[in-house]
Amino acid sequence: MYGNIFSEDTASFFRSPVREIFKKVDLNSIYSFAGGYPSAETFPLEEIRKTMAEVIDRYGGKAFQYGATQGVPELREAVAARYGVPVERVQITSSSQQGIDVCTRVLVDPGDVVLTSNPSYLGALQSFCSYRADIRGVAHNDDLEAFRADYEKVIAQVKAEGKTVKFLYMIPDFQNPSGESLTLEERRMLVDLAARHGFLIIEDSPYRELRYEGEHIPTMYSLDPDRVIHLGSFSKIFAPGFRLGWALAHPDILDKIYVCKQSLDLCPPIFDQYVAAEFLSSGRLDENLVRTIALYKGKRDLLLGLLEEHMPAGVRWTHPEGGLFLFLTMPEGFDAVKFYDRALDAGVAYVAGEFFHPDRSGKNTMRLNFSFMSPERITEGVRLLAALLCAEISDIQ
């Protein structure tokens, strides 16, 4: 009916297959390893209720007024103190998804190249496509020199085509979808690469504080604060419904983001920011985080144990030290997109790994989430998925 009234940009939008899955099924009626939802058990409802009342008592109508585009000073200061950065390097965002989108908007012209890992976060790929970026994915390589060479090769190719790399998008901590992290040496190598070739790095790190074992690895931002934009989020450490996150960057970069955000949303949600600021500075966020980490660690361990016990030979998986996901690789020839309807009919959902690969490789992979379901449902869900996979894999072998 509307013919060609829509902008050319809309032609490069694509729908999230994860959200399409949610439309088809009621998540509570199946065993869902599909979404990236936190467990609702981690939302500290009583504490939130108390904090909301405190915010209304303290700020009155100001809590419901428009506010500064950079974010309310209380939250910017709390974030600056937590991450040890000057407050002028903190921009509050309406969640890290907005952070990704706004960074892309201020950096990318149609045809500019964005480098990412292969696989990478679907929501970021959606943003890059919507600004008509040319996305080049580079697979992880355990050999540092080979990893560097793989990037150098892609960058040389981009230059030969007369194009420009604007930024590298990375999720160094407990990546979505793989669950894996970059080592310190890999982070250094990538920061060095960006400096030599003159592009920026967007370090998207919503899972960083959900570490269940091992030592924290310095952020890429800490290695080069003028070249790296660090994106953080309250979604996984507090509650996604607040839609709040932050960007740490050089003030010149933040200034562009600031002007861009004026036309996007004027300011992040004010009441939510005061609640988050109060939660952070009173220590309630950290107290809740300790409980959240214990809960998720238990679920991760459970899932790893169940996979070991039930998965057929030929299936491999990652061992994430934190975050919400792990990644399964089936034997060559397995097609996780085709297999999906059979799994869903049997009552179990996952996300096919192919969707996360900008080059549409990874057909034999799938992402499993372990934060959302109860331990009982994780157990039943893995048994069911493993039984289905046993039948499927013996057919293709």
Q: How far is the CB of 233 from ligand PLP (least distance, A)?
A: 3
Binding flag, residue 353, ligand PLP (CB under 6 A):
no
Nearer to ligand PLP (CB atom), residue 194 or residue 247: 247
Nearer to ligand PLP (CB atom), residue 94 or residue 329: 94
CA distance linking residue 203 with residue 97, whole number of Å? 12
Binding flag, residue 96, ligand PLP (CB under 6 A):
yes
CA distance linking residue 101 with residue 294, whole number of Å? 32
Binding flag, residue 322, ligand PLP (CB under 6 A):
no
CA distance linking residue 118 with residue 151, whole number of Å? 12
Place of tokens 């107290």: 287
Q: Which of these segments, 161-169, 192-200, 232-240, 359-367, binds ligand PLP (CB under 6 A)?
A: 232-240
CA distance linking residue 106 with residue 281, whole number of Å? 32
Among residue numbers 240 through 269, which ones bind ligand PLP (CB under 6 A)? 240, 245
Q: Which of these segments, 74-82, 89-97, 288-296, 368-376, binds ligand PLP (CB under 6 A)?
A: 89-97
Nearer to ligand PLP (CB atom), residue 70 or residue 120: 120
Q: How far is the CB of 123 from ligand PLP (least distance, A)?
A: 5
Nearer to ligand PLP (CB atom), residue 116 or residue 364: 116
Binding flag, residue 219, ligand PLP (CB under 6 A):
no
Q: How far is the CB of 8 from ligand PLP (least distance, A)?
A: 26
211, 293 contact by CB (below 8 A): yes
- Token readout for 278 is 């109060």
CA distance linking residue 113 with residue 166, whole number of Å? 6
Q: Within the chain, where are the H helices?
A: 17-24, 45-59, 73-83, 96-107, 122-130, 144-160, 184-197, 220-223, 251-264, 270-281, 284-310, 336-346, 375-396
Q: How far is the CB of 265 from ligand PLP (least distance, A)?
A: 13
Binding flag, residue 206, ligand PLP (CB under 6 A):
yes
CA distance linking residue 58 with residue 69, whole number of Å? 21
Contact track, ligand PLP, 116-155, x by CB under 6 A: -----x-x--------------------------------
CA distance linking residue 83 with residue 192, whole number of Å? 23
Q: How far is the CB of 295 from ligand PLP (least distance, A)?
A: 18
Enter the DSSP assignment of 314: T
Q: Which of these segments, 95-103, 146-154, 209-217, 350-358, binds ligand PLP (CB under 6 A)?
A: 95-103
Nearer to ligand PLP (CB atom), residue 147 or residue 242: 242
Among residue numbers 174 through 193, which ones bind ligand PLP (CB under 6 A)? 176
Contacts of residue 113, Cβ cutoff 8 Å, sequence gap at least 6: 133, 134, 135, 136, 158, 163, 164, 165, 166
By CB under 6 A, the count of residues binding ligand PLP is 14
Binding flag, residue 51, ligand PLP (CB under 6 A):
no
Q: How far is the CB of 313 from ligand PLP (least distance, A)?
A: 31
b/e for 35-53, b at 16 or more Cβ within 10 A?
bbbbbeebbbeeebeebbe
CA distance linking residue 264 with residue 313, whole number of Å? 50
Q: How far is the CB of 198 from ligand PLP (least distance, A)?
A: 25
Instruction: Give the interface with ligand PLP as residue ranges (CB under 6 A).
Output: 36, 95-97, 121, 123, 171, 176, 204, 206, 233, 235, 240, 245
